[in-house]
Structures are given as structure tokens and as C-alpha cells.
A and B are shown apart, each in its own frame.
Chain A
Amino acid sequence: AQSVTQPDIHITVSEGASLELRCNYSYGATPYLFWYVQSPGQGLQLLLKYFSGDTLVQGIKGFEAEFKRSQSSFNLRKPSVHWSDAAEYFCAVGRDFGNEKLTFGTGTRLTIIP
């Protein structure tokens, strides 16, 4: 069975600092990988996704993530965070057959300090 681990429950960074949120997955085949963000009072919004090809994927809001098969990781990065990035971030994995459920991690809550 597939699983996703987000080891950091809560991260605090200063505005303008760089950010890396960790995600490790367990899956027996080629995964589809996603990062979603949930701002207060909002639904989950897709930041970026990896299906195949280039292992460094660019997303919205200046985020990027790198798929490392050897480490079973899909870490999310941003070079300089903004106060509006404060939210909860979820990593998810889907199967390669499509149209199927996503398996999520427990989420990482990001706090930005001025």
C-alpha cells in the first residue's frame, strides 16, 4: 500500500528566507506526486505535480519540487517566502493508472515571521 510521510508537523521561517518542506513516499511503481496548499478558510489548491520527465517541476507561486527516486522523496522548495505563504502544505501520491484516489501525508503547517 502506498503511504506518504511529511516529517515536519510545523515549520517557522522568516519572511524572505528560503523554504524546504520534506515529503517521502512509499509506492511500488511509478508514482504521481502532488503538493497541495490549504490557506485558512480555503480548499486545497494544487501547487505542482509530477507525472514523468524532468524531475524538477515548477509550480505556482514560485514553488518548485524535485523528484528523487533513489530517496523516495519529493521535497517542496521556495527560495524566498512571503507572508502570504503561511498555510498548510500537503504532499500526496496517486497511482499510475489514473482516475484513482490520492494518498496524503499529515501536512506541514508553515508559519512566517516578519
Chain B
Amino acid sequence: EAGVTQFPSHSVIEKGQTVTLRCDPISGHDNLYWYRRVMGKEIKFLLHFVKESKQDESGMPNNRFLAERTGGTYSTLKVQPAELEDSGVYFCASSLISSRGRYEQYFGPGTRLTVT
């Protein structure tokens, strides 16, 4: 079974440019999460999809970030325009739906974003 995949693995862009990160969850996982780790800090939640619907986007930093999950499969996270403080590692995770949350979240390898 393929794991969670993310593309690209690294991205270096200039301030003001646009970047789109992609996440392919494990097949059949309706929950999809985005997290971010800024250097030296904790991994922070950004948002949560259930299928194609945004369940919780309380962690999105501002309106420069736009996440989509068309068709309930893969997801994209667009940053436009990018700022220096957006640099970090963006993780995607997926899990099965559970009534008691007993399914673990499987994480991808992350996308390292550097804004210069």
C-alpha cells in the first residue's frame, strides 16, 4: 500500500511568488490534514478536510493560503504571494474516518519550502 506522498520535496521561491504544494493521501482515507513546521518550532495544524469539505481551517495563517481538495482525493495548498515567514516544512497526513478517532494519522515526508 502506497503511503502519503507529497510534491515537491523541496521548493525555493522568491518573496512575492506563488507556490503550490500537492498531497496525495492513502487511498480510501477521507481525512486529510495539513500541518507546518517552522524551523525550531512545533508542528502546527493548518487545516483538515473530510473528503472534499473543509472541516477545520482554524490553523490557516491568513488569506494568502488556499487549500483545495477537489473530488476528495488529492489536495493542494497554494501560497500566494509567499512571504519570508512562510518558510518551513509542510506536512500532509491522512487517516480513515472513525467515530472514536482511533485511527492514526499517516504522514507524508513533507515539502520543504524556502522563501528568499
Contact = CB atoms under 8 A, between A and B. Distances in A.
Interface of A: 4, 32, 34, 36, 41-46, 49, 51, 90, 92, 94-107
A22 to B, nearest CB: 15
A36 B42 CA distance: 13
16 contacts: A42-B109, A44-B93, A46-B105, A51-B102, A90-B43, A95-B101, A96-B100, A98-B101, A98-B102, A99-B55, A99-B95, A100-B101, A101-B33, A102-B35, A103-B45, A104-B43
Contacts, number: 68
| Contact-residue size bin, chain B (C-beta under 8 Å from the other chain) | 20 to 34
Nearest to B101: A98
B108 to A, nearest CB: 5
Nearest to B46: A101
